Amino acid sequence: MEDIRAKIEVRGIVQGVGYRPFIHKLVRRRGLNGWVKNTSRGVELELEGAPDALRDFAETLRHDHPPLAVVESVELTPLGPAQGEEGFAIIPSTTLSRRNTLISPDVAPCDDCLRELFDPNDRRYGYPFLNCTNCGPRFTIVKDVPYDRPYTTMSAFTMCPDCADEYGDIDNRRYHAQPNCCPDCGPQLRYCDEKGDEVGGEPLDAACACLRDGGIVAIKGLGGFHLACRCDDETVVQRLRERKHREEKPLAIMCRDAEAAKQFCILTEDEERVLTSFHRPIVLLKKKQPYTHLTNNGFLGVMLPYTPLHHLLMQHFDALVMTSANLSDIPICKDNDEALRALRGIADGYLLHNRDIETRCDDSLLWVYAGREYFARRSRGYVPYPVTVEPDPRPILACGAEQKASFCVSEGNYAFPSGHIGDLKNLETLENYTQQIRHFERLFDIHPAMLVCDDHPDYLSTRYARERAKEEHLALLSVQHHHAHMASCMADNRLEDECLGVIWDGTGLGTDGTIWGGEFFAGGYESIRRMGTIRPIPLIGGDKAVGEIWRIAYAMRRDCGLAQEGKPLMERMLARKLNCPVSTGMGRLFDGVCAMLGLRQEVSYEGQGAVLLEAAAVDGEEGTYPIAWSEGRVFDWRGTVRAVAQEQARGVETGVIAARFMNTLVEMAAQQCRWMHEATGFDRVVLSGGVFQNQYLLRRLPPRLMKEGLQVFCHSRVSCNDEGLSLGQLEIAKRGGGTNVFGSTPENH
Ligand code: ZN
Ligand code: ZN
Ligand code: FE
């Protein structure tokens, strides 16, 4: 066979991940000739060789790639007979536009780097900032694109001759590794005492000593600071909680390795795979002991070291508490000065370094469900990887909700969801939100022509969208909260056709002006029909009832005609409908039952009622309570709640009641879906909304729906809570759903 010339196009995330050197080596090994270059869609090669050899080469590219590359497609096009090209070249790309330069998330140290880190004969032995093309900081140090050292926070350091040699040598693992550095030329650690004064000696040793003595140390990480302390010392954990004003929220731990994690938790194979993946999220695992000082629910958040510094630190401990260094809901600290100021009185010491963090990025938080990531928070290690969506040339910004804020910018077939941002009601968080929007728009060169927001006029994200749309004369679209949840789960699963949706969360503005959250929908991106919901619950005192959940229990008991000590003020408010908005939020039903069962009368964060019920529920309980429906397929929970009260009075164990209550919700949803299926003929169901963070429901509802012959789709690429909602807003806007607030849509220009 004569040699031929062929073009090979590789699409996906193949830039800035060591892809061209990888190609170079592969081509050389196979004795092929030609060139490779970056294009706006990926990389393009022209090669000469035997037809079989070229086909085989293309086949190899389909499954073999550098660790950080994501190959979406490989296409081979024969161009004709060989022209006798000799050798192989990496040629510069001329037409590359900024937006197609995808940026990698931050990546945990690779095995090669770890070997060097612990090899006394290596020049980077014990150096906490080593990295290579296959690992290291990325997103958090990038200031601008292209991804080149001058546009990162590593620009402050000049490579020494040794490092520069590695950087320029195509056979070296550090070829074009932008953050490449060594102890001679790179960032350095330093340690400060509680007053912020630098302490001499080995910084890491000083930090370890402080931790060992029961101190709290602020440690500068990848996307921000952590506060660390021993996890086996309840006194110091308590002190940390008090100082940080985090009395109740669970604290995550960092374990030395998967083996150390097994001392604390039960790990499945899938969980171990995700835990040890280069993304290094916090994985919520079933704990072996109560560890009530760390968390009062059934799961313990565990992560493994994800920087060389962590690896060095964790040589001295099996596990440490590691929690984001911030006060309550304010964004995580990222700069040295900021940390020294904000953490005064909280930290007993500071392990600092002089590599700046450009963009804050919190740890990702997830469960492993059905073998895949199930996000509570999609952030460090995943951001800014795009989510592939249906192609659309219009640049769009979706602004998300408010409490678990997020945004999503999109153009073409990529959507870029932001990382964890938090509650916009804090001024600092709002500022972080607007800064990150601008950062994403610059990095991906997306200039939105259309903005999308929630229907809720008072969400700060909505106000941002309104103001910006007005100022920049952009089209603005508004989307109902739960419609966005449903669309988010559809887009997460690449569903196009209309389907059914079980959308359960705490709150969101409905189209009738009341608060929704226990919703059953049929429809798609363009529009939905509300097929059913739950009996509205009066929130005595409005927002106050979200924290003081005994108010919800009071209103529910009253609605059920259950005896209770009357509260005249409550009665007056209910009778006059004074500050008593009604809600169909499933989260509120959980809150009410939680308070009735005496688990808690007040909660410190939204959704805690559901968390406590889940934690209380015993395993293996199959019982259910009565289910009734009223006009319009509205779940009348009064029969269920009366049964809860009766069993409680009879002295049935709280954990059994909690389980039976949730079993009832599963059964209720199954009945509703069966009915919706009959009414519409749709046999696919998406599950979305913050309530589906409840693992008890998540593990029981899908199999139950499958028994009804339905196909069930859950989230895996974005979160089911409000953080994942911006993706849904975006997809609705692309397909002409939502309500036009003002401005013409881009097509009409
Ligand atoms: Zn490496
Ligand atoms: Zn160097
Ligand atoms: Fe929601």
One-letter amino acid for residue 527 of the chain: S
**Ligand nearest to the Cα of 136, by number:** 1
Q: What is the DSSP letter of 183?
A: T
Q: What is the DSSP letter of 348?
A: S
Ligand 1 centroid vs 113 CA: distance in angstroms?
Answer: 4
Q: Which residues contact 395 (CB under 8 A, 6 or more apart)?
A: 409, 410, 411, 446, 447, 448, 449, 450
Ligand 2 centroid vs 19 CA: distance in angstroms?
Answer: 23
Q: How far apart are CA 602 and CA 12, in angstroms?
A: 49
Q: Is residue 675 part of a domain?
A: yes
**C-alpha distances in Å from residue 519, one per residue of 141, 187, 504, 565:** 42, 52, 6, 32
Radius of gyration of the chain (CA): 27
Specify whether 462 is located in the same domain as 540: no
Residue in the block written with tokens 């196909």: 711
Angle at 555 between CA 515 and CA 563, to 5 degrees: 160
Specify whether 728 is located in the same domain as 601: no
Ligand 3 centroid vs 703 CA: distance in angstroms?
Answer: 24
- The β-bridge relationship of strands 319-324 and 225-230 is antiparallel
- 710, 682 Cβ separation under 8 angstroms: no
Q: What is the pLDDT of residue 748?
A: 37
**Ligand nearest to the Cα of 174, by number:** 1
Q: What is the DSSP letter of 380?
A: B
Ligand 2 centroid vs 155 CA: distance in angstroms?
Answer: 13
**Ligand nearest to the Cα of 18, by number:** 1
Q: Is residue 124 part of a domain?
A: yes
Ligand 3 centroid vs 475 CA: distance in angstroms?
Answer: 24
CB-proximal residues (5 Å) to ion ligand 2: 160, 163, 182, 184-185
**Ligand nearest to the Cα of 166, by number:** 2
Ligand 2 centroid vs 132 CA: distance in angstroms?
Answer: 12
Choose the final residue of a domain: 66, 90, 114: 90
Would you tell me the crossing angle of helices 654-680 and 608-616 to the nearest 10 degrees? 110
Residue in the block written with tokens 């678990």: 404
Q: Is residue 166 part of a domain?
A: yes
Q: Is residue 373 part of a domain?
A: no
Specify whether 472 is located in the same domain as 404: yes
Ligand 1 centroid vs 530 CA: distance in angstroms?
Answer: 51
Both tokens of residue 424?
A: 């916009």
Reported as a single tens digit per residue, the pLDDT across 431-462 is 999 999 999 999 988 999 999 999 999 999 99
Ligand 3 centroid vs 582 CA: distance in angstroms?
Answer: 16
The residues that bridge with 742 in the sheet, in sequence order, are 476
Ligand 2 centroid vs 120 CA: distance in angstroms?
Answer: 17
**Ligand nearest to the Cα of 184, by number:** 2
**C-alpha distances in Å from residue 288, one per residue of 35, 139, 299, 362, 367:** 55, 35, 9, 26, 16
Ligand 2 centroid vs 185 CA: distance in angstroms?
Answer: 4
- The β-bridge relationship of strands 217-220 and 349-353 is parallel
Ligand 2 centroid vs 23 CA: distance in angstroms?
Answer: 26
Ligand 1 centroid vs 57 CA: distance in angstroms?
Answer: 26
Ligand 2 centroid vs 179 CA: distance in angstroms?
Answer: 11
* Strand segments (E) across 505-633: 518-523, 528-534, 537-538, 582-583, 628-630
Q: Which residues contact 573 (CB under 8 A, 6 or more apart)?
A: 540, 541, 579, 580
Ligand 3 centroid vs 587 CA: distance in angstroms?
Answer: 10
Ligand 3 centroid vs 506 CA: distance in angstroms?
Answer: 6
Specify whether 486 is located in the same domain as 513: no
Specify whether 162 is located in the same domain as 178: yes
CATH number, domain containing residue 41? 3.30.70.100
Residue in the block written with tokens 């402080």: 210
Choose the final residue of a domain: 163, 187, 211: 187
Q: What is the DSSP letter of 617?
A: P
Ligand 2 centroid vs 348 CA: distance in angstroms?
Answer: 32
Q: What is the pLDDT of residue 221?
A: 95
Specify whether 476 is located in the same domain as 346: no
Specify whether 488 is located in the same domain as 632: no
Ligand 3 centroid vs 457 CA: distance in angstroms?
Answer: 15
Ligand 2 centroid vs 186 CA: distance in angstroms?
Answer: 6
**Ligand nearest to the Cα of 185, by number:** 2
Low-confidence ranges of the chain (pLDDT < 50): 746-749
Choose the final residue of a domain: 161, 187, 213: 187
Reported as a single tens digit per residue, the pLDDT across 224-274 is 999 999 999 999 999 999 999 888 889 999 999 999 999 999 999 999 999
**Ligand nearest to the Cα of 133, by number:** 1
Ligand 1 centroid vs 130 CA: distance in angstroms?
Answer: 7
CATH number, domain containing residue 283? 3.90.870.40
Ligand 1 centroid vs 131 CA: distance in angstroms?
Answer: 5
> In terms of C-beta density within 10 A (0-12 exposed, 13-18 middle, 19 or more buried), how is residue 271 classed?
buried
CATH number, domain containing residue 391? 3.30.420.360
> In terms of C-beta density within 10 A (0-12 exposed, 13-18 middle, 19 or more buried), how is residue 51 classed?
middle
Q: How far apart are CA 548 and CA 651, in angstroms?
A: 25
Specify whether 516 is located in the same domain as 611: yes
> In terms of C-beta density within 10 A (0-12 exposed, 13-18 middle, 19 or more buried), how is residue 654 classed?
middle
Ligand 3 centroid vs 691 CA: distance in angstroms?
Answer: 9
By residue range, what is the domain housing residue 558?
499-713
Sign of the Cα pseudo-torsion (747, 398, 734, 440, in order): positive
CATH number, domain containing residue 167? 3.90.870.30
Specify whether 310 is located in the same domain as 445: no
CATH number, domain containing residue 634? 3.30.420.40
Identify the H or E element spanning 192: strand 189-193
**Best CA proximity match to 180, nearest among 164, 199, 156:** 164
Q: Is residue 371 part of a domain?
A: no
Q: What is the DSSP letter of 217?
A: E
Q: Is residue 444 part of a domain?
A: yes
Ligand 2 centroid vs 166 CA: distance in angstroms?
Answer: 9
Q: How far apart are CA 601 and CA 613, in angstroms?
A: 13
Specify whether 17 is located in the same domain as 66: yes
**Ligand nearest to the Cα of 725, by number:** 3
- 474, 453 Cβ separation under 8 angstroms: no
One-letter amino acid for residue 178 of the chain: Q
Q: Is residue 315 part of a domain?
A: yes
Ligand 3 centroid vs 722 CA: distance in angstroms?
Answer: 5
Neighbours of 111 (CB within 10 A): 10
Ligand 2 centroid vs 304 CA: distance in angstroms?
Answer: 27
Ligand 1 centroid vs 132 CA: distance in angstroms?
Answer: 4
How many domains does one find in the chain?
A: 5
Specify whether 678 is located in the same domain as 598: yes
Q: Is residue 159 part of a domain?
A: yes
**Ligand nearest to the Cα of 124, by number:** 2
Specify whether 45 is located in the same domain as 165: no
One-letter amino acid for residue 124 of the chain: R
Ligand 2 centroid vs 154 CA: distance in angstroms?
Answer: 12
CB hemisphere CA count around 293 (13 angstroms): 16
* Strand segments (E) across 329-400: 349-353, 365-369, 372-377, 387-398
